[in-house]
Amino acid sequence: MWHAAWGRRSLTARDWLRHPVSMNTAGDRPIGEPGELGGPRGWSGDAGAGIRTILLASDLSSASANAEDLAFELAGRLQSALLLVSVIDPRGLWLPTGGYRQRIDQARDARQIAAMGIVDRGHRDGVPIRTLIWEGDPAESIVEAAVAEDVDLIVVGSHQRRGVDRLVMGSVSEQVVRTSPVPVVVARRTPQ
């Protein structure tokens, strides 16, 4: 299931493609007819109009497969380019005993190899695609990349952590939705 989210508003990505989106430039309140949904400040027009670049935020694991599929579907329909951003969180590389589970260069090499499969898919599907592999806090890095690369939409997956895991790990997708200056579509994993 896919959800587009701007603050507290959300809708499925398929609905988002069907409904026009209008926004006043004074804030995050929607304007227009009932059924129209608001996006972030300054974003206006028909759903999909003017979306040149879609940032696909992915940890390149199987949990991101829905986000990847959605990003390619949107890019194909909207004739947009993709920017694949994968962020290595150095905190996840440490062992509880203080050593490294994996060195940062090994993690980067693994991400680059995994990213090549997505780039190949872009070439097969005729979708222009670039990649960035950054190190740092995933949510902050995704938003920074969106601003630095002037993207129009972010697609991010959700691991759908619950309870203590969510409390400890936090939700990258939730933080991206809260802090992003551009629309964010959260692709949730389909229940098995």
Decide: helix, strand or coil at residue 45. strand
- In tens, the pLDDT along 50-92 reads 899 999 999 998 888 999 999 999 999 999 999 999 999 988 8
**What is the pairing mode between strands 153-158 and 53-57?**
parallel
Tell me which residue of 190, 188, 191 sits closest to 13, measured CA to CA. Answer: 188
Cβ atoms of 55 and 155 within 8 Å: the answer is yes
pLDDT digits (tens, 9 = 90+) for 145-182: 999 999 999 999 886 655 554 444 458 888 999 999 99
At residue 81's C-alpha, the angle toward residues 112 and 189, to 5°, is 65
- Tell me 30's DSSP state: B
pTM flag (> 0.75): no
Nearest to residue 127, comparing CAs of 79, 162, 67?
Answer: 79
Is the residue at 66 inside a domain? yes
Q: Is residue 139 in a domain?
A: yes
Sequence length of the chain is 192
Crossing angle of helices 138-148 and 172-179, in 10° steps, is 40
Strands (E), 7-152: 9-11, 53-57, 81-88, 129-135
The pair of three-digit structure tokens given for residue 151, joined into one six-digit string: 């993207």
CATH of the domain at 93: 3.40.50.620
To which H or E segment does residue 116 belong?
Answer: helix 104-125
Is residue 77 included in any domain, yes or no?
yes
Is position 18 within any domain? Answer: no
Residue 96 lies in domain: 48-188
The more confident residue out of 180 and 31 is 180
> Residue 79: how many CB atoms within 10 A of its CB?
12
CB neighbours (10 Å) of residue 40? 15
Question: How many domains in the chain?
Answer: 1
